[in-house]
Structure 1
Amino acid sequence: MESISQTLQTKLEMLNWDFNKRCEKHKSYFLFDYNDNLNSRCPVCYCEGMTKNVEQQEAEKALDAERLKKYNTLKKLSILQDETLRAIRFSDYKPTNSEEENNKNEAIDFFNRYRNGEIFNLWIQGLNTGVGKSHLGMSILEELNESDAKDRSCLFIDIARMLELIHDSFDNKESHYTQAYFTDLLGKVDFLVLDDLGAETGDIDSKKKASEYTSKVLRSVMNSRQDKATIITTNLPSAKLKQMYDGKVMSRMMRGVKSIVFKESIDKRPSEVGF
């Protein structure tokens, strides 16, 4: 019975070798291509090239998968109270006065600065509800998500709803919406909107302070985002925020801060109650 080494030797001898050419790198004779007695090449170099091509293709597939994962973050993992905000863009924002027009243009400018690599926190503030603070915040995320190589991760989080889900996980062991889940997720994304800061305490005209637990969650999130861009929307003025929240939380949120402020605009959402 022929041994494996003998079989291998027989197979090698059957190959169409070009003994007039020798690879200096691998010290191997060249091998003619199949059914081709004119073109020959080093079989080891050829195998190395094929291996490199396969590795490059796999690396590109992994990169594409990572890009797709980042791109889908906004759609799949965002937590919203108002589902009409999904996939909303700057083109959907219709200003009704000069302030709204200026604030829309400022938001577009901040989007371009983010796109060009600047890192800063952005506050979108206005005492009145329904003027478009959340709309502009989501628009910035949508534009970032759709621009360039689509390799940025963006996330929109309604703070009150997030805290509700965390509290629910205390008794619901099947829920994955734990504090650790949100801290990890919010800490990793490139761009984050924290929507409606202050609403989680209830009536904004009250003198309530944020609970210690709320401050703990927000502090953990902001501690993990010191090198990333965070956009915060709120109805509250800065003095009220400083009264309600832990000093460390506010310090992190106010780092490298820019702002868009609504002073005159009123609720644009239609009323159907008739009075």
Structure 2
Amino acid sequence: MMRVGETELCPVCHRETENQKLSAQVQENAQRIHEEKQLEQLFQNSLFEDVQNLQAGFKNYRTESNTEAQANKHRMIDVARAYASGKVFNTWLYGNPGTGKTHLAIATVRNVNKETAGNLTCAFVNTSQLMQEIRSTFSNGYAGSESEKSYIARCVAPDLLVLDDLGAESGRIGTNNQASDFVHRVLYEISSGRQHKITMITTNLTFGELENIYDKKLISRLKGEHVALDFTKTEDHRSKKLDWEAMKGDA
């Protein structure tokens, strides 16, 4: 026996306890490193417009009780569980700007990426940024290694892809601008290559408005077997009216 303070301990038992603690710590560190690598790989394959969105999760999507936003949050948690369990279907999040559609899409991707230990490959692509990146490869002075074909391949490859802010790449909302042949070509290639894979789409437009911009056949391909979440009754979270009198009082 060995004595530690007033306590007598069995040396073998003490050593086993310390080894178990060390083993648990090693496993915890290995799991953390593994999750960090998963996230790094996820974000390397993605095109984000706003890097602040990288921290989006279900816990920090705050809603009030009995609201459309709260119902949609719970539905997206269910969607994430379904994807992680192997179900394949598309998800559309449509409605007002600033309502957290992108936030919930990223939260879903992060959750699925974690729950499947990276075995379900995921990527997030902002549609406008994708089109800009591809157009940049058309320049005579372009010296990069990417091409239209490689960008499309990056969108086709993942098991789960988010196409964020569909419609924004074709101009201001409400102008009835039609998507260019270039945009149609890229989206057709992506949608054709993603049959039997998971595609999540966020947009500030209704399906009727989308069909005014894009070919109906393209929209049908992008829809596939899908669930749709309506954010048309949710308020803009990014726009907040300040109380000027209260601000003056704080000065």
Change (3 A) 1:84 1:160: same
Q: Deviations over 1:20-79 (max 9, x none)?
A: xxxxxxxxxxxxxxxxxxxxxxxxxxxxxxxxxxxxxxxxxxxxxxx9987643221211
Percent identical among aligned pairs is 30
TM normalised by structure 1 equals 0.71
Task: String of CA shifts for 1:102-137, please: whole Å, max 9, x gaps.
Answer: 0000000011111111111110011x2110000011
1:71–1:152 Cα contact (<8 Å) kept: no
In the alignment, structure 1 segments of 5+ residues that lack a partner are: 1-66
Matched residues in 1 for 2:111 and 2:136: separation? 33
Q: Can you give the 5+ residue segments of structure 2 that lack an aligned partner in the other structure?
A: 1-34, 245-251
The DSSP-based 3-state class of the residue aligned with 2:176 is coil
2:93 to 100, 103, 124: 124
| C-alpha distance in structure 2 between counterparts of 1:149 and 1:73, whole Å | 12
User: Match for residue 59 of structure 2?
Assistant: 91
Match of 1:222 in 2: 191
TM-score using structure 2 length: 0.77
Q: 2:42 aligns with which of 55, 61, 74?
A: 74
Tell me the alpha carbon deviations over residues 222-256 of structure 1, each in whole angstroms, 9 at most, x when there is no partner.
Answer: 10000100000001111111111123311211110
Retained in 2: the 8 A contact 1:193–1:232?
yes
Which of structures 1 and 2 has the larger relative contact order (alpha carbons within 8 angstroms, sep 6+)?
A: 2
Q: How many residues align?
A: 208
Listed as ranges, the matches of 1:38-77 within 5 Å are: 72-77=40-45
- Higher CA-based Rg: 1
For residues 242 and 125 of structure 2, the distance between their equivalents in structure 1, rounded to whole angstroms, comes to 30
Amino acid in the other structure paired with 2:124: F
Report if aligned partners of 1:141, 1:154 keep a CA contact under 8 Å in 2: yes
Write the mapping of 1:104-253 to structure 2, written as runs, cut at 5 A: 104-126=73-95, 128-171=96-139, 172-253=141-222
The AA in structure 2 aligned to 1:141 is: V
What RMSD, in angstroms, separates the aligned Cα atoms of the two structures? 2.1
Report deviation, 1:181: 1.1
Q: Conserved in 2, the CA contact under 8 Å of 1:70 and 1:153? A: no
* 4+ residue segments displaced more than 6 Å: 67-70, 272-275
